[in-house]
Amino acid sequence: MGEKGIGARVARKEDQRFLTGNGHYTDDLQRNRQTYAFFLRSPHAHAKIRKIDAAAAKSAPGVLAVFTGADIAEAKVGSLICGWVVKDKNGEPHKAPPHPALALDTVRHVGDPVAMVIAETAAQAKDAAETIAVDYEELPSVVNPAKALAKSAPQLHAEAPGNLCYDWELGDKAAVDAAFAKAAHVAKVDLVNNRLIPNAMEPRAAAAEYDAGTGQYTLWTTSQNPHVTRLVLSAFVLGIPEHKLRVIAPDVGGGFGSKIFIYSEETLLTWASAKVGRPIKWTAERNESFVSDAHGRDHVTHAELALDKDGKFLALKVDTIANMGAYLSTFATAVPTYLYGTLLAGQYTTPAIHVNVKSVFTNTAPVDAYRGAGRPEATFVLERIVEQAARDLKIDKAELRRRNFIATDAYPYQTPVALTYDSGNYAGAMSKALELADYAGFEKRRAESKAKGKLRGIGLSAYIEACGLAPSAVVGSLGAGVGQWESAQVRFNPTGNVQVYTGSHSHGQGHETTFAQVVSNHLGVPIEQIEVIHGDTASVPFGMGTYGSRSLAVGGSAIVKACDKIVAKGKKIAAHMLEASAADIEFKDGTFTVAGTDKSVPLAGVVFSAYVPHNYPLNELEPGMDENAFYDPANFTYPAGVHVCEVEVDPDTGVASIAKFTAVDDFGNIINPMIVEGQVHGGIGQGIGQALLEHGVYDEKSGQLLSGSYMDYTMPRADDLPSFDVGYQITPCPHNPLGVKGCGEAGAIAAPAAVMNAIHDALAPVGVQSIDMPATPARVWQAIQQANTKMAAE
Amino acid sequence: MYNFDYHRPKSVADAVAALKKASDGKLIAGGQTLIPTLKQRLAQPSDLIDLSGVAELQGIKVDGKTVTIGAMTKHAEVANSADVAKTIPALSEMAKVIGDPQVRNVGTLGGSIANADPAADYPAAIVGLGATVKTNERSIAGDDFFKGIFTTALKEGELIVSVSFPAPEKAAYVKFRNPASRFAMVGVLVAKTASGVRVAVTGAGPSVFRVKAMEDALAKDFSAKAIEGVKVPASGLNSDIHGSAEYRAHLVNVMARRAVEAAK
């Protein structure tokens, strides 16, 4: 490990431009003769569109065009797609109702786009939109997933009777039933996994331009995966050939999943740029983001865990209703199935597991992957029920987990829910976490809090995630419409510096630094001479993008493969230069050496020779030093760990504050500990946000989004969070060259269960049995009052 | 934001004249509510009359036991004033917890109370300290100033010039913030004054109100214990996704007790 190689806390290269205001975001774009789009959106949760009168808007000052659903249908703009086919219990594919980019005859959620106005200025577009008269016939709506399946529930799509998208299951139900029949104890929980609204710092934005001379479209968009955007728009929605569509995702200010998807706005901008013949730009206002970004989570679950008399887990059964929202977003179907049900073994040897998921349509914004995507929901179910069982059986919660952990020598470990874990040391992480958290000293701290009139609780969350998405053959067999490899190109310039192209987009994760460290480590090139380039389909090889904590495990591995090719070619060139056999050439720290001699040539010399091949084996070797690689992982990676949360509740106000938060994570090898800590901190912040603060709330009667601004949607702030104690258990991933597992989502996956377990532990002494997320002060206070009333009655 | 005509008068008289002349004019002080309202196109005034250039609306004066604050005085100026801190510490403390640093450095006393947001902090101080609001036309007792949600006793063309706060024997303001907006979900100012005890509550209801039962109990015994059992009726209080009326009623009691304990 050098000062800037693998394992070094290298300051992020990209922060210089971000922190000095020199980033280039989509909204910064100023194209010649640029126009602006504004989207008129439905104010209703559910309504028929009787008529749209846009005549006044079309002749309003500055307006170039107004398009409605009818125009889009006439132009044969395709439906937005969901790219993952989930098969239900009977093998039937999920119900896939059309998702028009502009509503045709029905609006199905508040914010559903109804018309697009394009004008010389953003204000003119907005002014004109206000003159569009839409004659709506309001229909009854349903927003609560648990109510969407009722016979009397309003129906959203003719294609999905009963609002059911699919009724999916995984696992051996007969084995589970048999295990429950002989169980000594059954723990039960009813859980709501609250709806979250992503709120990336940069709202979604897009700009599109059509070159009539070449027939080339260019789309700038806030995307986590520009190639996937291009593929979907080309092959499924707009029919523009891929080679005639360039997609650029410039600097992007956070995604958290919400910028994976292909939305109406960038689709329509691209299409309309040719119609209007001028560049068009759109940037979401924050209130648009609230109603139109894909939301996260929103599950209702009943789960039961069967245990024997010693606390060994015998079987788990889980029934979940998952909210899809009004339409299927790009990967919506996969989130509550293959990213959820498959994780329900957790870190435990539970031999039989059955999960049933009914996904439903409701009159709400579409729900899709959000930091963790399915895995936070799985961890929440499992870790809440494990602590419920510990409380029921009066077994220490750490001890109960230890009794059920998969042993460190059991890998590869086949779970009953499809995954094969590759490596781990769960007991090791647990020991470290308990020590760091001073678990042993907790009761003393609880007593101290009690003396001050406060209720203190401690909770654990032993999570696992499947990251490094994904082995293409596996996800293909499960219904994914794409492969999930990653690409890399390592291109030396004649002067010895390097451009590294990656298909894995960076929008806050620090790839430009981490990936440079990987290349520096493998090739011995100083980090300052390495430029990591991503986000432009015109320059970067086709790549699958950034999600599922995959960038380093998959994209980083592709870079290593490309570096290996550079070294292999370099050895041949060096052999020629040093008049030796290639087999005798060793490469270390940027220098090729003839083994056992002092004859050597630096990589820069080899590169120069490759580009100026005056003395070069041209009959055997091509000139140039520019290598491509694609890497398709052999398995998922399985980051895991234990998070410990300690809360202190003020029973007078219901305020639960985080007194202490400890995270011990196993991410395999770590390239840049500072970036990893940042990812862990951010993830925990979002996890605490889910547990205590954030809640996307739709009004059950009107279907209006009640938490549609920061006045009502509680984003976590610095003073809501403690300083985190972070530690590591390092078990390298055995099947990728860096031995890395991924760290981007762990905090958001682990933290909600840890926090909620701590709150249940704190409130158990006053008789509170169950409280849902977010555990807001009002809810905590209410739960205490109800417990008091119940105790008084008893 | 829609278009409007902008004016920046130098005197109260010019401001009032501009307001009267406009077809649908609005005064703008710190703009902490008005600007977001305009940006969201929720209001379309014909004219905006900016009061930031009116010198006579600025400044803090302490005269013996009375603190007089000009309507255009920013929250941060009140929070940072040594004179205010010395004469009415509760007022100083209250100003320190309004909004966030950005809001405190732009928002003004006059703007806040003229807007009469039910979750604003200042109304608790106006009523709880028994302040007097001076306008270009008259003086209005603090108790008579707030008339309901976003409604005050101000008449058309009437403009707040300053507010005078008499120093209490002791007082404190304690609030429970809405977790999302950080506005006061319940803010209670308790003051022991020469003319009796005042308990003023902001945030909990549609407008600031006094809790007589607490005032009576505290008049006999100015201690947190004295009001422990005094329940505030939940009926008429606000209820939303952040908390029920019952929760707010409960918080009034908790905050009032904490204010009594903190009073200085």
| Distance (Å) of CA A358 to CA A275, A654, A685, B87 | 41, 34, 30, 65
What tokens does B219 get?
């008049």
Q: Which residues of B touch A706 (CB under 8 A)?
A: 240-241
In angstroms, the separation between the Cα of residue B197 and the nearest Cα of chain A is 24
Chain B nearest-CA residue for A720: B179
Chain B nearest-CA residue for A286: B40
> What crossing angle do the helices spanning A397-404 and A426-436 adopt, rounded to 10°?
160
CB contact under 8 A, A778 and B242: yes
Query: What mean pLDDT do residues A733-753 have?
Result: 97
Residue B231 near chain A (CB below 8 Å): no
In angstroms, the separation between the Cα of residue A451 and the nearest Cα of chain B is 18
Give dist(CA A585, CA A485) in Å, integer: 31
Q: Are strands B47-50 and B25-28 parallel, antiparallel or unpaired?
A: parallel
- Provide the ipTM: 0.96
pLDDT of residue A312: 98
In angstroms, the separation between the Cα of residue A360 and the nearest Cα of chain B is 24
CB contact under 8 A, B181 and A776: no
Q: What percent of chain A has pLDDT over 70?
A: 100
The residue ranges of DSSP E strands in A700-766, in sequence order, are: 724-728
Q: Pick from A123, A777, A782: which is nearest to B179 by CB?
A: A777
Residue showing tokens 């790009």: A330
State the maximum Cα–Cα separation within chain A, in Å, rounded to a whole number. 95
Q: Which residues of B touch A653 (CB under 8 A)?
A: 176, 251, 254
Give dist(CA A406, CA A427) in Å, integer: 9
Hey, of B38, B42, B181, which one would you mutate to test binding to chain A, going by the most A CBs within 10 A of its CB? B181
Confidence of residue A1 (pLDDT cuts 50, 70, 90): very low
Q: Pick from A123, A712, A782: which is nearest to B247 by CB?
A: A782
Query: What mean pLDDT do residues B159-170 have?
Result: 98
In angstroms, the separation between the Cα of residue A447 and the nearest Cα of chain B is 23
CB contact under 8 A, A782 and B251: no
pLDDT of residue A64: 98
Please count the helices (runs of H) and the strands (runs of E) in chain B: 11, 14
Give dist(CA B233, CA B211) in Å, integer: 10
Taking the CA atoms of A528, A533, A534 and A535 in sequence, report the sign of the dihedral they define: positive
Among A158, A189, A197, A162, residue whose Cα is nearest residue A358: A162
Three-point CA angle B253, B175, B242, nearest 5°: 85
A133 phi and psi angles, rounded to 5 deg: -100, 115
Taking the CA atoms of A282, A284, A288 and A294 in sequence, report the sign of the dihedral they define: positive
Q: Pick from B176, B181, B241: which is nearest to A706 by CB?
A: B241
Q: Which residues of A touch B254 (CB under 8 A)?
A: 652-653
In angstroms, the separation between the Cα of residue A273 and the nearest Cα of chain B is 26
Residue B251 near chain A (CB below 8 Å): yes
Q: Which residues of A touch B176 (CB under 8 A)?
A: 653, 777
CB contact under 8 A, A712 and B241: yes
Hey, of A454, A711, A715, A788, which one would you mutate to test binding to chain B, going by the most B CBs within 10 A of its CB? A711
A182-240 pLDDT, tens digit each? 999 999 999 999 999 999 999 999 999 999 999 999 999 999 999 999 999 999 999 99
Q: Pick from A123, A126, A714: which is nearest to B179 by CB?
A: A714
Q: How high is the mean pLDDT of chain A? A: 97
Q: How many CB pairs under 8 A join A and B?
A: 46
Strand order in the sheet with A280-283: A63-68, A113-119, A35-41, A280-283, A205-211, A216-221, A245-248
Query: What mean pLDDT do residues A28-55 have?
Result: 98
Are the C-beta atoms of residues A456 and A462 closer than 8 Å to each other? no
Q: Which residues of B touch A714 (CB under 8 A)?
A: 179-180
Q: How high is the mean pLDDT of chain B? A: 97
pLDDT of residue A793: 86
Chain B nearest-CA residue for A774: B242
What is the full DSSP assignment across A105-158? SEE-STT-EEEEEEESSHHHHHHHHHT-EEEEEE------HHHHTSTTSPP--T
Residue showing tokens 């997933």: A145
Chain A positions with Cβ closer than 8 Å to B: 123, 126, 130, 287, 652-654, 693, 695, 697, 706-707, 710-715, 776-778, 781-782
Give dist(CA A760, CA A194) in Å, integer: 17
In angstroms, the separation between the Cα of residue A772 and the nearest Cα of chain B is 14
| Neighbouring residues of A150: CB distance < 8 A, sequence distance ≥ 6 | none
Among A241, A335, A294, A640, residue whose Cα is nearest residue A461: A640
pTM: 0.97
Residue B180 near chain A (CB below 8 Å): yes
Q: Which residues of B touch A126 (CB under 8 A)?
A: 41
Q: Which residues of B touch A776 (CB under 8 A)?
A: 179, 242-243
Query: What mean pLDDT do residues A662-683 have?
Result: 98
A395-427 pLDDT, tens digit each? 999 999 999 999 999 999 999 999 999 999 999
Q: Which residues of B touch A713 (CB under 8 A)?
A: 180
Residue B204 near chain A (CB below 8 Å): no
Neighbours of B172 (CB within 10 A): 24
Three-point CA angle A479, A483, A488, nearest 5°: 165
Please count the helices (runs of H) and the strands (runs of E) in chain A: 20, 28
* Alpha carbons within 13 A on the beta-carbon side of A564: 11
Q: Pick from A653, A712, A714: which is nearest to B176 by CB?
A: A653
DSSP state of B116: T
In angstroms, the separation between the Cα of residue B179 and the nearest Cα of chain A is 6
| Neighbouring residues of A448: CB distance < 8 A, sequence distance ≥ 6 | A456
pLDDT of residue A2: 58
Give dist(CA A776, CA A760) in Å, integer: 13
Give dist(CA A46, CA A776) in Å, integer: 30
Taking the CA atoms of B203, B204, B206 and B212 in sequence, report the sign of the dihedral they define: negative
Q: Which residues of A touch B250 (CB under 8 A)?
A: 781
Are the C-beta atoms of residues A134 and A49 closer than 8 Å to each other? yes
B178-193 pLDDT, tens digit each? 999 999 999 999 999 9
